Chains A and B, each alone.
Chain A
Amino acid sequence: MESALVLVIGVMVAAGVYLMLAANLLCYLFGLILLSNAANLVIFVAGRLTRAVPPLIPKGQEAPLEPVANALPQAMILTAIVIGFGLLAFTLALVVACYRELGTIDSDHMRLAEPPPKSGEH
């Protein structure tokens, strides 16, 4: 189970990086989404996977009787998803603002904050 998920993570990272290398900011954004979900899956797998043993303590006991699923990585992923969602929403808004103000989402054409190109360059 772990190795299958690891392969999935690998494919997601590869696809994410490929998309992020594009000059188009929207492609970059989609790549970022893939990469951030891959990172969440890394934490998930790091907590070891178990099937159908929820971390519940039976009545009258102080500790679970048998090894149970690790709840901590899931709590961390939840935090990471919330933060990631906020950052993605911000980035999307930024891309929209860029498109409105600069008229392009091709990062190769965003040269406003850079020194003006010399003749011969483009």
Chain B
Amino acid sequence: MGWLLALPFLLPIATGLFALGARRKPRRARTISLLGCVGLFVIVVIIFVRVIDEGTIAAQMGNWPAPFGITLVADRLSAIMLLLAGLVGLAVAIFAQADVDLRREVLGFQGFYQLLLAGVCGSFVTGDLFNLYVWFEVMLIASFALLILGGERAQLDGGIKYVALNLVSTLFMLMAIGMVYGLTGTLNLAALHTALAQVEQPAALHMLAVLLIVAFGIKAALFPLYFWLPASYHVPPVAVTAVFAGLLTKVGVYALIRTFTLIFPADFSFAHDLLLIAALLTMLSGVIGAASQYEFRKILAFHIISQIGFLVLGLALFSPLALAGSIFYMVHNIVAKTNLLLISGTARRMTGSFNLAEIGGLYRVSPVLAAVFFIAAFSLAGFPPLSGFWAKLMLVSASLEQAAYWVAAIALITGALTLFSMSKIWSEAFWKPHPTGEARSLTSLTVTERIQRMLPALLLVAITLGLGLFPQPLIQFCETAAKELLDPAGYVATVLPSRGG
């Protein structure tokens, strides 16, 4: 029982160590990494099924009872995040086999990739604020390495900006942890739920909230803390950008949702107002930034920011429907965004550039790739009947429910501007003829490379389509998950059986 919840980070760490050991034999390292990702996916599916059957599950490492030992918890939110991490991990691992060059593999790409997955999964299962910090660091150091691996000049430049701002976020988090401990004497998330509610110093609570919003806001790329993201996400290989876009910023959002539903009191309107303003400005500034760009990957990077706004919006509105919308949006966005970045990598392989002015003609040479892009992109813009439509519908109706009409208006404007950017990519990269000569077709690649590039994209686009056509099971799941988040009594009782229940 206990080991099941530890496996999502133990397995990638073990795989990563073996892959690092075999880095001079890239074929072997690749196979190890791929097998590790398949194993991870199986484990997270098992955890997901168990959480659906039994509700929240918890494990105490070394049999020290909470709140004294190391607690691992999986509720519905953790379970779906783990499932997504396993899915993205597997999809990008397949794609990376074709996309990452031999030199980077010899430098240890596969090992750092697994370490990144370990950090992400660890953050999702931990039930303790200090361990959350430790997993953030694991994730951070692996992401640093992946970002600058290869040492191209642009990579170093982007790397400096990424490292500088993310280290500041780490220090804010550490200070916040010190203050939480000083106020309550515990760092166990479930114990904090009751302990922080008894703290009668509103000034201290407000300061803590601001510290944590800044710390997680930098990780999540929230306005006005996101400037590291557009400065760095376009410099590493596409596979790295794809896994960053799919998972890293989402861990920041997950931490925000976890702390502001579980440890802070539910009627903490100060933090919710702050988050609401930040979310709306994030949505608008991200999408406007994207509109001004003319490079495939930079447009997508700015859209990551604007969609973080949607995810935080659901938390800020703080109603069951809004939180359910947030979780649905998370699922939709991780799948669609990762896929779009994978497609951008394949598009570059076939046309030679990311710059939209220099490429074109993809629709004519490769209708399959064009169709996959079309579905993912229009899902991102929120077109029915694709997954993004239901996600936006839930969030917009949640804001109408609270009579926050201007919130709904901003969400719809953001959707329209997203459509503008996606049509720009469509008409430039896919529709117009290639300005200098001809784009390569998919059939000119070797069969192995074609499979490695297209299998993950087809898998992810099938999920986007499936969620769009049959959204009901996931909506129900998200509603139950939101109910759990808004009433953490079950979570607390599972972790601390002696106190709750």
Contact = CB atoms under 8 A, between A and B. Distances in A.
A112 B137 contact: no
A35 B181 contact: no
A39 B174 contact: yes
A110 B170 CA distance: 24
A87 B142 CA distance: 11
A113 B157 contact: yes
B423 to A, nearest CB: 22
Interface string A83-106: 100110011001101100110000
Interface in A47-72: 47-48, 72
Interface in B117-136: 130, 133-134
B167 A113 contact: no
A80 interface: yes
Contacts of B469: none
B178 A39 contact: yes
Nearest to A75: B130
Contact of B178 (A25, A46, A79): A46
A76 interface: yes
B174 A43 contact: yes
A37 B161 CA distance: 22
Contacts of B148: 94, 97
B163 A94 contact: yes
B87 to A, nearest CB: 29
Contact of B181 (A46, A80, A94, A111): A46
Contacts of A111: 157
B167 A25 contact: no
B141 A90 contact: yes
B49 interface: no
A94 B158 CA distance: 11
Contacts of B232: 113
Contact of A35 (B133, B171, B179, B182): B171
Which bucket holds chain A's interface residue count? 35 or more
B151 interface: yes
A112 B174 contact: no
B5 interface: no
B268 to A, nearest CB: 21
Nearest to A79: B134
Q: Chain B interface secondary structure, helix, strand, loop or mixed? A: helix
A114 interface: yes
Contact of B156 (A83, A91, A102): A102
B312 interface: no
Contacts, number: 95
A10 B321 CA distance: 43
B454 interface: no
Contact of B158 (A35, A45, A46, A113): A113
B156 A97 contact: yes
B177 A101 contact: no
Contact of A101 (B141, B153, B179): B153
B144 interface: yes
B178 A42 contact: yes
Q: Chain A interface secondary structure, helix, strand, loop or mixed? A: helix
B160 A107 contact: yes
B154 interface: yes
Nearest to A95: B160
Interface in B24-75: none
Contacts of B167: 32, 87, 91
A47 B164 contact: no
A83 B134 contact: yes
Nearest to B172: A39
A44 B181 CA distance: 10
B119 to A, nearest CB: 12
Interface in B180-232: 181-182, 231-232
Contacts of A43: 174, 177-178, 181
Contacts of B160: 25, 94-95, 98, 107, 110
Nearest to A16: B171
A28 interface: yes
Contacts of B231: 113-114
B178 A112 contact: no
A35 B231 CA distance: 24
A72 B182 CA distance: 12
B182 A101 contact: no
A80 B178 CA distance: 11
Contacts of A36: 171, 174
Interface in B94-126: none
B332 interface: no
B175 interface: yes
Contact of A45 (B137, B170, B182): B182
28 contacts: A32-B167, A35-B168, A39-B174, A39-B175, A39-B178, A42-B175, A42-B178, A43-B181, A45-B182, A46-B178, A46-B181, A46-B182, A47-B182, A73-B178, A76-B177, A76-B181, A79-B130, A91-B163, A94-B144, A94-B148, A98-B157, A101-B153, A102-B153, A111-B157, A113-B154, A113-B158, A113-B231, A113-B235
Which 3 A-B pairs rank lowest in CB-CB distance, beginning with the nearest?
Answer: A46-B182, A43-B178, A42-B178
Interface of A: 20, 25, 28, 32, 35-36, 38-40, 42-48, 72-73, 76, 79-80, 83, 86-87, 90-91, 94-95, 97-98, 101-102, 107, 110-114
Given A32-B171, A40-B174, 5 more contacts: A42-B175, A45-B182, A90-B141, A91-B163, A107-B164
